[in-house]
A and B are shown apart, each in its own frame.
Chain A
């Protein structure tokens, strides 16, 4: 049964399915990060690497 189904599948369509899947998720992500009102939130996140005051001693 499994072999029969697999043997009837046209696997050359796989790249097409993959591209559509990826592009859909990618566009959703772009819409999410570009939403209005989040500029300050992202600006604060971008400064996190600099936010580590520490005291060094021997």
Chain B
């Protein structure tokens, strides 16, 4: 045991709480913005008129803005506020550098604003939760490094010998996020606002969901578990229930999480071994996750009566319970038999929001209610308002999650329903919308209730801040060198007492899972069997694909026909890994608000696509898809076409010199062919409009496999 602090010479110091205050205010502000965007997006699925026929207000552009704002702006700022507050107290030291703290704060807010502007402008990579283009990716890396230096620098100047378990979770988060961000963002730029992933097809999908799943793990989960291990004991005024269990919790999670990513790609063209790996590790994740939940909840042992009066504990207990529910539901959905029903449905949306609104949201609110009075040296303005916020939030989540469960299971069953003659019962997408619409309304109402609670919180916190003034917090502790070593301390010092050594152990644990998954997928050619008839996109199709990405079509349409009878009957031949080798980035999607598009090529005439994109209801009665009138007005920009084709060739697409040199002329010629065909049917000439490229791309989708293998060794372009 450590010698009593009173017997040792003490050093006095002051904590930097100014930076915590900044991040706390930013958390509350961006939370409201991100959730309001989500609410608008939710009601756009009820009434498509809410897209207003305005490019930057369409669902495809708002949805990534919503997810990124909630994850990186709301949750991100909460993480920074909570870690900066707690690491100073746990390490008995002021943050490493005030300048780095300020750079971190303002840099992160600038990134958030840049994200908002670029998403609304249609600048996106389309890789979910990693949609930002490369200059912003670079900025994220720089700011994250500043955060890491500030954090690890604080550990270096600490006055506490042992690293408390919360700090372990913070270290794992900082390391893993850096690794995930760098690998998944590897891309070849063609301009300041456009780049192509260095990975293609199923390899891109695997890397993306290795990132996507672990962004949930190491951005939305492990930092919050660290915060739980600090703030729950503080609020309950009890030590953590079992420190031993917290050790099992930590190492179990960091070892297991990295392996589970492929459960996002079950029944896709991903190799079967990778799918099985993802499922097995997802199920094993249940053990440490529930160990952590039990540890968090039982920290309140002997003090459950406080729940009746303390809104902070209400938020914490409900949040930890949602952590348990989400970490049960996740492994359940990763079972292949369950996933066959749940994937691409609203069930996934319900699962994601159970975690985001329940675990991250409620915990953040509890943390703000605990922190703000202390940071401004006052008392919370109104406990009753905070309690009202809690119940509004809880009921709101209930409406949201349950409506999405019902909608998800209903649509999963409708997709697979056959009648006695073996025909699809719901043959067209519009047949299913009347069943889903009431659920979309209930979901929107749930979100509105949740946001009403957030507004109450903002008023409550504003009045709390007004009643106090920024606090200066001083503390004293003996210097690290003065603290004697402890009995039982030798091995713990080696494993958990030295930040550098601990970081190395954690990095190894994190890397093992990723390496087992990613390296074989990239190294073994047999994982992606080539198909002779699959050719690179024509220059016009490349432009059309970029428009598809820019408008966020992937938010509603998958490009992955799974090997189920219901899907092959509805869409056509199931998708093969070899069909995606020129897809940078992949467009498998994660949700089918509309039908799958992988076999849409050649299914309808150009005339149909022209009318459909202009007014979806003219071809699909009851469609909730937005209109895209600007695609018929905006000029098709071919300035970067040659650079794009050249970039694809650098990444391995077999374009000839001639095809690179004449990329623009080829695009213009193909555009004229399509436009002339439409003019002959009485439509306006669109040869120089964006829509012609999009039609070219849609008509190419999934058609290569229907063609006979090309004769001769020289590859030539497919398409029209």
Using a CB–CB cutoff of 8 Å, the interface residues on chain A facing chain B are: 2-3, 6-7, 9, 11-12, 14-15, 18-19, 21-22, 25-26, 29-30, 32-34, 37-38, 40-50, 52-58
Contact = CB atoms under 8 A, between A and B. Distances in A.
A48 B164 contact: yes
Nearest to A38: B488
Given A22-B255, A22-B284, A48-B164, 9 more contacts: A6-B523, A9-B524, A18-B281, A21-B512, A45-B162, A49-B86, A49-B233, A54-B89, A57-B474
B243 A53 contact: no
A56 B377 contact: yes
Most chain A C-beta atoms within 10 Å of own C-beta, residue among B234, B239, B486: B239
B162 A48 contact: yes
B243 A50 contact: no
A21 B239 CA distance: 33
Interface in B509-535: 512, 516, 520, 523-526
B166 interface: yes
A18 B516 contact: yes
Nearest to A6: B524
Contacts of B489: 41
Nearest to B486: A41
A7 B524 contact: yes
B471 interface: yes
B90 A53 contact: no
B90 A48 contact: yes
Interface string B267-310: 00001110011001100100000000000000000000000000
Given A25-B255, A26-B252, A49-B240, A56 B473 contact: yes
B628 interface: no
A33 B244 contact: yes
28 contacts: A2-B523, A6-B523, A11-B524, A18-B277, A22-B284, A25-B251, A26-B255, A29-B247, A29-B248, A34-B244, A42-B244, A43-B243, A45-B164, A45-B243, A46-B242, A48-B160, A49-B86, A49-B164, A49-B229, A49-B240, A52-B92, A53-B475, A54-B474, A55-B474, A56-B471, A56-B472, A57-B474, A58-B469
Given A46-B242, A48-B90, A57-B377, A14 B273 contact: yes
B166 A49 contact: yes
A44 B247 contact: no
B465 to A, nearest CB: 14
B578 to A, nearest CB: 16
Interface string B240-272: 111110111001100110010000000000011
B472 A54 contact: no
A contact patch SS: helix
Interface of B: 1-2, 15, 86, 89-90, 92, 160, 162, 164-166, 229-230, 233-234, 237, 239-244, 246-248, 251-252, 255-256, 259, 271-273, 276-277, 280-281, 284, 374, 377, 469-475, 486-489, 491-492, 512, 516, 520, 523-526
Contacts of A3: 525
B474 A50 contact: no
B contact patch SS: helix
B11 to A, nearest CB: 14
B475 A54 contact: yes
A58 B472 contact: yes
Nearest to B527: A11
Given A26-B252, A54-B475, A11 B374 contact: no
Q: Sorted from nearest, which 10 A-B pairs have the closest CB atoms?
A: A46-B243, A52-B89, A54-B475, A49-B233, A42-B243, A48-B164, A46-B239, A47-B239, A41-B488, A11-B273
B549 to A, nearest CB: 32
B230 A40 contact: no
Given A3-B525, A6-B524, A18-B277, A57 B237 contact: no
Given A46-B239, A57-B474, A58-B472, A14 B520 contact: yes
B274 to A, nearest CB: 8
A11 B271 contact: yes
B377 A58 contact: yes
A36 B487 CA distance: 13
Contacts of A58: 377, 469-472
Contacts of A48: 90, 160, 162, 164
A8 B563 CA distance: 27
A54 B165 CA distance: 21
A2 B165 CA distance: 42
A15 to B, nearest CB: 5
Contact of B237 (A22, A46, A50, A56): A50
B146 to A, nearest CB: 25
Contacts of B525: 3, 7
Contacts of B242: 42, 46
B273 A12 contact: yes
A55 B242 CA distance: 29
Contacts of A42: 242-244
B164 A18 contact: no
B203 to A, nearest CB: 15
A15 B402 CA distance: 34
Most chain A C-beta atoms within 10 Å of own C-beta, residue among B89, B164, B243: B243
A49 B234 contact: yes
Nearest to A44: B1
A46 B240 contact: yes
Contact of B1 (A19, A25, A40): A40
A55 B475 contact: yes
A57 to B, nearest CB: 5
Most chain B C-beta atoms within 10 Å of own C-beta, residue among A30, A46, A53: A46
B475 A52 contact: yes
